[in-house]
Chains A and B, each alone.
Chain A
Amino acid sequence: MAQAFSARALLFTKLAALAIAGLLVAGAVTAYEHFDGPYRVGDAPPQPIAFSHKHHVGDDGIDCRFCHASVETSSFAGIPATQVCMTCHSQLFTDAPMLEPLRQSAARDEPLHWTRVHRLPDFAYFDHSIHVRKGVACIECHGRVDRMPLMRREAPLTMQWCLDCHRDPTPHLRDPSRVFDMTPSAAVRVATGVPHEALASRRRLTDCSTCHR
């Protein structure tokens, strides 16, 4: 009676088994890559105007609040209206081709359409004003925008990432008066000491209802 498997058949079987295993692994990896999609960090999407935070914040040293005016009062930090840009750019670089869309917007009274970089799902409610008030600096989430020629996302903005801070905020806090300062928190706290803002309990900060409703 002969073997059920010839030597070659056996070889092929083994190869097939290996191939299937390989495919599964590859599939899993790619799947992870894809589902990781909305959380991809670091890429700077194209914008109607190649606005450089590096230039405005880093070089010119304009305060965040000049453009993001409602960051201290509202959940929404605020995106500057065309006219806010024009306060300067009606004088400066008035004929720079780069600023054409801006001038068009002002002339035609049509808003600019920026591409959103920091995006949270609809069911996650984030409030800028309270974070700023409690001494969470801009750079904690947005990174060194003063070094970003084009806006890019520094943080994954996953629930896990939010929780990391909500579970132990202290290392990320500084004196509220210095939240718009671009120097890292550690350094600031050496200078000004640890802030003693009254924080909600860790339990409150990790309640589902703190961010979801």
Chain B
Amino acid sequence: MSALYGVMAELADEKALLAAAHEARDAGWAGVEAYSPFPVAGLAEELEGKPLGVSVFVLLGGILGGAGGYFLQWYSAVISYPINVGGRPLNSWPEFIPVAFEMTVLFAALAAVFAMIVGNGLPRLRHPLFDAPHFDLATRNRFFLCLRGNVEDFDEARAHAFLESLEPLRVIEVAS
């Protein structure tokens, strides 16, 4: 354990980042984080910890919305206050479909966004990384590989050495 958030290498492009992540994995580093200004294909797979899929939530949201939407209509039109509307049957199911469908989409979409934001631990307005020099470029044109300091037997010196071995633009210490 150490007081550091981690040690971080600033890299020039997505290739370097991918390679670095790969090596870090081979070298058996734990708590590896990779930052890039746009999604880099295959990068997440190089890091441990498989992100929980958003799709499950979307499915659940959709089912909830659809079933709930239909139930609402059926209950209010058939059970709560049955009224003869233009001689139509109380449970006019074909005419209940559109609302049920819209509710499906609505809840599924909400679930997707919810899952993404919560899954990513957002909102997180303050973060140690934001104090790190050059990290503002992570949303522009720089790529970062960070070895977290909060893992078992983290050795700052080894981390430095490893990151230097990647020939980065520079190595940055991130205070926590």
Chain A residues within CB distance 8 Å of chain B: 1-5, 7, 10, 13, 206, 208
Contact = CB atoms under 8 A, between A and B. Distances in A.
Contact of A4 (B81, B83, B125, B133): B125
Contacts of A3: 126-127, 130-131
Contacts of B131: 1-3
16 contacts: A1-B130, A1-B131, A1-B132, A1-B133, A1-B134, A1-B135, A1-B136, A2-B131, A3-B126, A3-B127, A3-B130, A4-B125, A4-B130, A7-B126, A10-B125, A206-B81
Interface string B15-58: 00000000000000000000000000000000000000000000
Q: Is the interface of B mostly helix, strand, loop or mixed?
A: loop
A3 B132 CA distance: 9
Q: Is the interface of A mostly helix, strand, loop or mixed?
A: loop
Interface residues of B, number: 12
Nearest to A208: B83
Contacts of B127: 3
Nearest to B132: A1
Interface in B131-147: 131-136
Given A5-B126, A7-B126, 9 more contacts: A1-B131, A1-B132, A1-B135, A3-B126, A3-B130, A4-B125, A10-B125, A10-B126, A13-B125
A4 B126 CA distance: 7
Contacts of A5: 125-126
A147 B135 CA distance: 78
Contacts of B126: 3, 5, 7, 10
Nearest to B134: A1
Nearest to A206: B81
A3 B134 CA distance: 12
Interface centre among A3, A7, A10, A13 (most CB of B within 10 A): A3
B130 A2 contact: yes
B33 to A, nearest CB: 17
Contacts of A7: 126
